[in-house]
A = this chain, B = another copy of it.
Amino acid sequence: MAITIYDVAREANVSMATVSRVLNGNPNVKPDTRRRVKEVIKRLNYKPNAVARGLASKKTKTIGAIIPDVSDLYYSAILKGLEDVSEMYQYQIIISNTDNDANKELKAFETLSSNQVDGIIFLGGSLDEATHEVIEQYDNPIVMCGYSKHKNMSTVNINYPDAVGEVVSDMIKRGRENFVYVKSGYHSFLEDAIGERIQAELDAHGISTKIDTYDALTYEAGIELFDNLVNSDSKVDAVISISDEVAGGMLHGTLDHNVNVPEDLEIMSCSNTRIAYMMRPQLSTIAVPLYDIGAVGMRLLTKLMNKEETEITHVELPYKFNYSETTL
CA separation between A112 and B73, bound complex, in Å?
A: 25
Shortest C-beta distance, A267 to chain B (Å), equals 14
CA separation between A12 and B238, bound complex, in Å?
A: 64
Contacts of A48 in B (CB 8 A): 114
Contacts of A277 in B (CB 8 A): 219
Closest residue of chain B to A97 (Cβ to Cβ) is: B83
Residue-wise, chain A 254-278 has the 8 Å CB interface mask toward B (1 for contact) of: 0100000000000000000011011
- Is A94 an interface residue when CB atoms closer than 8 A count as contact? yes
Listed stretches A50-58, A174-182, A202-210; interface member: A50-58
Choose among B55, B83, B249, B275 the residue that contacts A70 (Cβ–Cβ < 8 A): B83
CA separation between A95 and B249, bound complex, in Å?
A: 32
- Is A197 an interface residue when CB atoms closer than 8 A count as contact? no
Contacts of A79 in B (CB 8 A): 70-71
A73 and B73 in contact, given A248-B278, A280-B255 (Cβ under 8 angstroms) = yes
From DSSP, what is the main secondary structure of chain A's interface residues? helix
- Is A183 an interface residue when CB atoms closer than 8 A count as contact? no
Contacts of A274 in B (CB 8 A): 219, 245, 275
Question: Oligomeric state, in number of copies?
Answer: 2
Task: Check if A77 sits within 8 Å of B71, measured CB to CB.
Answer: yes
CA separation between A94 and B93, bound complex, in Å?
A: 5
Contacts of A275 in B (CB 8 A): 274-275, 278
A71-116 contacts to B (CB < 8 Å): 71, 73, 76-77, 79-80, 83-84, 87, 92-97, 110-116
Contacts of A49 in B (CB 8 A): 55, 114, 116
Shortest C-beta distance, A68 to chain B (Å), equals 11
Closest residue of chain B to A218 (Cβ to Cβ) is: B274
Shortest C-beta distance, A10 to chain B (Å), equals 20
A245 and B110 in contact, given A51-B115, A55-B52, A115-B92 (Cβ under 8 angstroms) = no
Which A residues contact B (CB, under 8 angstroms)?
Answer: 47-52, 54-55, 60, 62, 69-71, 73, 76-77, 79-80, 83-84, 87, 92-97, 110-116, 219, 245, 248-249, 252, 255, 274-275, 277-280
- What are 10 pairs between A and B in contact, CB < 8 Å? A49-B114, A50-B116, A51-B116, A69-B80, A83-B97, A93-B95, A219-B277, A245-B278, A278-B279, A279-B280
> A47-B113, A95-B95 provided; 13 other pairs, C-beta below 8 A?
A47-B110, A50-B115, A51-B54, A51-B55, A51-B115, A51-B116, A62-B94, A71-B80, A92-B96, A93-B95, A219-B274, A245-B274, A279-B279
